[in-house]
Amino acid sequence: MKTIRRTVSEAKIESETPGRLVISSGIFGKLAILAVVGLLVLLAIVNGLTWWFQKEGPLLAIGTSVTCLVPALILMLAVASSVQLTLDAQQRALTLTSHYLLGIGRWPRRREHTINFSQITRAECQPAVYTAGYRSLGNNVQVETDDGLCITLQFGPRQEQAVKTVGKIRDLLGSQAPPTVQSAEAAQVAAVAGTYSAMLREIRSWGFWMLGLGALHVFISGLFSASWGILLIVVGLASFYFRDAAMFVVYAVTLAWAGLSNLLSAAGGWQVFALFQFFLVYAVIQQFRRFRRAQIEQALRLQVEHQDQADPPDRGVRVFPWAGLVLGSFSLTALVLVLLGVFILMATAMHTPLPGWLSFIEGLSTDGAVLGFAVSLGALLSGCQRKGVAVAGCVLSAMTLLIELGLAIIGRL
């Protein structure tokens, strides 16, 4: 049997009543199709105008214009700009309605596919990873029928709506629901377990990337300029020990400091790259919010089921406040001593260049402050019990970073 696949991108529940559920796709797909079609038509128009004014190569101009217009026509006829899924208890049917930008003859702009509830063989919630500039975790609902139709509802971060949709399908099918149609409770467990598993994979991936970039930085910059590479290596190693959501705050703060440093640099290319780094910071913070929620739910479920965990879920939350306090204290003390040493050297030997080890210690103090602020903030956002310790770590680390920023700004004046 041939499988027919239909996808509802950016799915969201538009309306819900006891006997009816309407799910619609987002506007991004329609905008993307309009942008591609508009670009192809614009290329065809520009090519035609070029031939009109130059009066040379008419066959080439016509061929190029047709080459642009034919794909645009196919897109408008074959790719749905919006999709709507309706579950109706009265009709006991699922209706998939697709809207297209263009309709001709047997291919109308509005096309419907109706399926009786008895044809539904599977409905389940599945975690999925989307790549749109940066990897983000989402939730898909997959509905299969006995005639080979497979509908994928991409809810993205709307996990609650994905779970509600699966539960609604189960409720509407009632006693006729096959075992492969999940209940709302089973869908919730599957969504949380999938999200938690994805979190562990993401942390592992971050760990390898940090180790690789850190080793590369140490190799390229040399010993006395390797403090940033050492920081990346430490964060990479920590990723294999502290396998919980608080690590994403550490990644976000590390990226934010790198972006801020690039923004203050004189090179224009690095300043542009800093904007991308700030976008990554936003994406990682969103991941932390979702992963932290899934981690808490997963821990509660395992606690209820009296199952043992190989990795304590809040290991980082317990260690991070104290680690932040130690790192913040060390960083501020080391920076003050470095500044005092620079002042003494400048006062006693004006023409003597500053030793390289002094710059290395300054770099270690700054990067230690970045890590101290990151772990302290991660502990606070994760709801640690020792909030006073975490706040102290944040304050001490922030003081060090503010002094460094002030020195950097003064150096550019």
Note the pLDDT tens digit of each residue in 99-113. Answer: 898 888 888 889 888
Give 131's pLDDT tier (boundaries 50, 70, 90).
very low
Q: What is the CA radius of gyration of the chain?
A: 29
pLDDT for 56: 61
Instruction: Please report whether residue 188 resides in a domain.
Output: no
Is 258 in contact with 213 (CB distance < 8 Å)? Answer: no
Return the higher-pLDDT residue of 313 and 50.
50
pLDDT averaged over every residue in the chain: 82
Return the higher-pLDDT residue of 139 and 312.
139
Do 298 and 394 fall into the same domain?
Answer: yes
Give 303's pLDDT tier (boundaries 50, 70, 90).
low
Instruction: Please report whether residue 231 resides in a domain.
Output: yes
Give 197's pLDDT tier (boundaries 50, 70, 90).
confident
Do 262 and 386 fall into the same domain?
Answer: yes
Do 276 and 351 fall into the same domain?
Answer: yes
Name every residue whose Cβ is closer than 8 Å to that of residue 337 and which is 6 or more positions away in sequence: 361
pTM (predicted TM-score): 0.71
Classify 212 as helix, strand or coil: helix
Do 223 and 140 fall into the same domain?
Answer: no
How many residues are recorded in the chain? 413
Q: Does 248 score more than 90 pLDDT?
A: yes
Return the higher-pLDDT residue of 128 and 126.
126
Do 224 and 147 fall into the same domain?
Answer: no
User: Whole-angstrom Cα distance, residue 319 to residue 300?
Assistant: 21
User: Whole-angstrom Cα distance, residue 362 to residue 359?
Assistant: 5
- Average pLDDT rounded to a whole number, residues 125-136: 57
User: Whole-angstrom Cα distance, residue 239 to residue 302?
Assistant: 23
Two tokens, residue 241: 């020990």
pLDDT for 51: 67
Q: Does 142 score more than 50 pLDDT?
A: yes
Two tokens, residue 289: 């919010």
Do 206 and 334 fall into the same domain?
Answer: yes
CB neighbours of residue 350 within 10 Å: 7
Specify the number of domains making up the chain. Answer: 2
Name every residue whose Cβ is closer than 8 Å to that of residue 322 and which is 6 or more positions away in sequence: 386, 389
Looking at 119, 152, 182, which one is the last position of a domain? 182
Sequential DSSP letters for 31-96: HHHHHHHHHHHHHHHHHHHHHHHH---HHHHHHHHHHHHHHHHHHHHHS-SEEEEEEETTTTEEEE
Do 133 and 204 fall into the same domain?
Answer: no
Closest C-alpha among 95, 302, 314 to residue 192: 302
pLDDT for 158: 80
Give 67's pLDDT tier (boundaries 50, 70, 90).
confident
- Average pLDDT rounded to a whole number, residues 307-320: 66
Do 68 and 127 fall into the same domain?
Answer: yes
Instruction: Please report whether residue 187 resides in a domain.
Output: no
Name every residue whose Cβ is closer than 8 Å to that of residue 160 and which is 6 or more positions away in sequence: none
Beta bridge partners of 68: none
User: Whole-angstrom Cα distance, residue 338 to residue 46?
Assistant: 63
Q: Comparing 80-84, 85-89, 194-198, 364-368, which segment has the lowest mean pLDDT?
A: 194-198
Which of 171-175, 301-305, 371-375: highest mean pLDDT?
A: 371-375
Residue-number span of the structural domain to which 27 is assigned: 4-182
Closest C-alpha among 318, 333, 332 to residue 390: 318
Do 149 and 257 fall into the same domain?
Answer: no
- Average pLDDT rounded to a whole number, residues 177-185: 80
Q: Comparing 47-56, 75-84, 141-150, which segment has the lowest mean pLDDT?
A: 47-56
Return the higher-pLDDT residue of 204 and 3.
204
